[in-house]
Amino acid sequence: MIDLRSDTVTRPTDEMRAAMATAEVGDDVWGDDPTVNRLEAVAADWLGKEAALFVASGTMGNQVAVMTHCRPGDEVLVEAEAHIYWYEVGGIARLAGAQPRPIRTPDGILTPELVRGAVREENIHYPTPRLLCLENTHNRAGGKVHRLPEFRSVVDHAHSMGLKVHLDGARLANAAVAQGIPMREAAAGVDSVMCCLSKGLCAPVGSVLAGTKAFIAEARRNRKVLGGGMRQAGILAAAGLISIERMTDRLREDHQLAKEIAESLADVPGVLCDPGAVETNMVQVDLDRPAGPIVDALAREGVLCGTSGPTRIRLVTHHDVAGIRAGDVAGAFRAALA
């Protein structure tokens, strides 16, 4: 089976399993786990922030961030297709008690103008606009990169309007590699950033949330409310350290494979796929018919994938499919659509 459902399916490497087996651990809720402490220090430095917190998942990292920035009734500006709005079970409303305000964009990329248009002036009737959430790379926009000059200008603009900025950087390492810049530069200026270790970076579990020392101290309390105090979590942090230190550069191979898959799909009848739109490790495939039955047919042909719209299929490349041939994916599509 070629599993292109997500980069979340990656399994820990042999090196990770060995590091996990021998990790030095302690009770992290007491601050006693040396491996978690090391991961948090390394992650803070990686992301260019004062402090970091190891969390169970990207969803937990994003939601802890919103809970920490906002008070009940505050307004959170989000891009209308953002993961934090689409796929986190209404957490902004349920957990932070805040109100999301989705902003439509043509391509997932928020601009200063769009943010300005969404921030209302002070008025007794209105919620307080508190937080802007950005996403890089943007999942539902097909792994699109919010490139540095544009990214910085929207961050600066949000700050000038009195908003805090949280970055959902589940795949920020993909965005950094695609632009040839360090992570700290890709996260510069934001008040908080979440980055997943368990997607393309292959850790079995875990994400990191980074920000100022004061922000992370409060975030640690909010993680505890969610049941995220994980005790001997050094077993997991040991794998996360390898994600940060050794798994980022190879993401360029995933990007190359995604591009090759898109190129080989471009001339399959019944498929609309633009190789030029592939910026990182995702391929969006638009079909001339409903996607659900085609996903089932592709599974019968040995390719697993998911939908991201009624007639749209999403393919995600990652470490565990690195050896496949792009032409085999196109062959499965030809058979499935026949």
* Binding footprint of ligand TLP on the chain (CB under 6 A): 6, 8, 57-59, 62, 83, 87, 135, 139, 168, 170, 196, 198, 207
What is the smallest separation between the CB atom of 282 and ligand TLP, expressed in angstroms?
A: 8
Least gap, CB of 11 to ligand TLP (angstroms): 15
In the complex with ligand TLP, which residue's Cβ is closer, 6 or 13?
A: 6
Give least dist CB 225 to ligand TLP, A: 17
Nearer Cβ to ligand TLP, position 172 or 241?
Answer: 172
DSSP bridge pairs for 53:
209
Q: Starting at the earlier edge strand, list the strands of the sheet with 99-103.
A: 51-55, 207-211, 192-196, 164-169, 129-135, 75-79, 99-103
Compare residues 118 and 196 and give the one whose CB is closer to ligand TLP: 196
Burial track 121-147 (b if 16+ CB lie within 10 A, e otherwise): eeeeeeeebbbbbbbbbbbbbbbbbbb
C-beta of 87 vs 126, nearer to ligand TLP: 87
**Minimal distance in Å, beta carbon 130 to ligand TLP?**
20
Nearest residue (beta carbon) to ligand TLP: 58
Alpha-carbon distance 284 to 271, whole Å? 10
Minimum distance, C-beta of residue 117 to ligand TLP, in the bound complex (Å): 24
Distance CA 282, CA 252 (A): 12
69 vs 83, beta carbon nearer ligand TLP: 83
